[in-house]
Amino acid sequence: MGRLEDLDADVARVFRYLGPEPENWVPATRGVARDVVIVGAGQSGLATAFALKRKGVTNISVIDAADPGKAGVWLNTARMPTLRTPKAVAGPELGVFALSFQNWHETLHGAAAYATVKKIPRTTWAHYLEWFRATVGIKVRNRTRLLDIEPADGHFRLHLIEDGVARTETARKVVLATGIAGCGAANIPRLLQDGLPASRYAHTSHPIQFDQFAGKVVAVLGSAASALDAAAAAVEAGASAVHMFCRRRELTGTWPGQARSYPGAWDNYPQVPDADRWRLERRIRQSGSQPPREAVVRAAQLRNFHLHLGTPWTSVREADGQVLITTPEENFVADFVIAGTGFRVDPAARPELHRVAEQIALWRDRYTPPPEDEDAALGAYPYLGPGFQFQEKAAGRAPYLKDLHCFTSGANLSFGRLIGDIPSLDGNVPRLAAAIIHDLFVADYAHHWRRMAAEVKPDFLEEDYAAAIWRGALAVAS
């Protein structure tokens, strides 16, 4: 057999030991098409669908706006050569070792080849995810975009565009697995929006044709990982110069988030007092985003890359066909601006949440920090329940929110992890799946009680044991 056939056989053998997936146990709901709709077919959406299938929740649908094989960021807006995550971190396989990246890579390329991998190449990870999706049997409805979530009587009406055609689908539960911008929007500074036409700038989350920068000067605002990736990509595409501007006076420094990166903290983080969760996240925001070393080295070694530390922008405008940038120290001229300025969390910024956003409890509705720790950006995060569900701002006003689960970066403050990143899958996807399963069981408890209390006949007949019945000593003797 070929290596791919060997891999398929290995997976089939492991699943034979695990046993078959349970049959669907969730009773059909009149007038509702799906028990769960998962929005997003990246690593989070695939892992969630896999976890539910292994627990017998199979009336699910996974939708994604991208073309087949292009879900997530890896083949779209991600621009780093390799992942940031160490190669041995558990991912969407959820403990099934045959489905792990290591098993996939070693079976296809050999153990020696895997040993030489320091960080997983970005495109290789995308190919692995597509293999994972096909192997565990997750069907994805591609080119399907969620436009609007409409609460109905005990379910949701989802307004979709599927292959260019408008349609409505009903679901009992919805999981938003839509990535880093899935509970908000790209954070584009106001001075860019006010000072430049849209044709003169882009956010790192936007599709960017880097070949347009050949021979041009590009200014990059921000110094996070995505900013460095974009700067390097622009130089590599032939830009005559790329200037990256950072408000901080150094890129190095401590990253407080690393201190909570152990199972005891991660697994119990939702029980950490609100004040402590807020204080920890506030420290992380104050320290700034620390880019990975490989992103820094990649950009810094390029001759046409120039880093400006401690250089905030005071104004930017277009004049005579160029971008004029003013800083406290000196002025600069560029042809194009790339904003590597991160994302803001704001449920109201999501079009699909426009009907329900006002009812969602935010952190500012649940916790008031001391004056020295006030932070409007943190206050805009949704205050999630233990199963990643939105909660009501006012009790009894929006009970449907318990069936709308936010597995996006909007969960970071509540759960203390970068939800959606690879390290967040192993512990949090089972938590999410368990909450969904619990809710579905409780909602249909009358049905399940009848099923659990039913009389179940044995699978044998009286004649199977008749000859062995003791008739007494005299009966045996005779």
* pLDDT digits (tens), the chain, 478 positions: 468 888 888 888 888 888 888 999 999 999 999 999 999 999 999 999 999 999 999 999 999 999 999 999 999 999 999 998 889 899 999 999 999 999 999 999 999 999 999 999 999 999 999 999 999 999 999 999 999 999 999 999 999 999 999 999 999 999 999 999 999 999 999 999 999 999 999 999 999 999 999 999 999 999 889 999 999 999 999 999 999 999 888 877 666 677 787 888 888 999 999 999 999 999 888 877 778 889 999 999 999 999 999 999 999 999 989 999 999 989 999 999 999 999 999 999 999 999 999 999 999 999 999 999 999 999 999 999 999 999 999 999 999 999 999 999 999 999 998 899 999 999 999 999 999 999 999 999 999 999 999 998 889 999 999 999 998 876 656 5
Residues 13 and 134 in one domain: yes
Residue 261 within a domain: no
Q: Identify the pLDDT of residue 203.
A: 97
Residue 467 within a domain: no
Residues 299 and 383 in one domain: no
Residues 226 and 357 in one domain: no
The CATH number of whichever domain residue 86 belongs to comes to 3.50.50.60
Residue 475 within a domain: no
Q: How many CB atoms lie within 10 A of CB 368?
A: 14
Residues 404 and 295 in one domain: no
Residues 128 and 220 in one domain: no
pTM, 2 dp = 0.93
Residues 172 and 232 in one domain: no
Q: Which two structure tokens, joined as six digits, stand for 373?
A: 């720790």
Residue 303 within a domain: yes
* Residues 6 or more apart whose Cβ sits within 8 Å of residue 362: 347, 379, 380, 381, 382, 383, 393
Domain that holds residue 88: 3-183+344-446
Residue 451 within a domain: no
Residues 143 and 225 in one domain: no
DSSP-H helix ranges across 319-369: 363-366
Q: Identify the pLDDT of residue 19.
A: 85
Residues 330 and 351 in one domain: no
Q: Identify the pLDDT of residue 1.
A: 42
Residues 103 and 222 in one domain: no
Of 321, 341, 361, the domain-final residue: 341
Q: Which two structure tokens, joined as six digits, stand for 55?
A: 């627990």
Our count of domains for the chain comes to 2
Residue 264 within a domain: no
Residues 302 and 201 in one domain: yes
DSSP string, 254-282: --GGGGG-SHHHHHHGGGS-HHHHHHHHH
Residues 107 and 29 in one domain: yes
Q: Identify the pLDDT of residue 21.
A: 86
Residue 322 within a domain: yes
Residues 235 and 109 in one domain: no
Nearest alpha carbon to residue 120 among 78, 177, 155: 78
Q: Give rounded-to-5 percent helix, strand, coil for the chain.
A: 40, 20, 40
The half-sphere exposure of 333 on its side-chain side, counting CA atoms within 13 A, is: 5
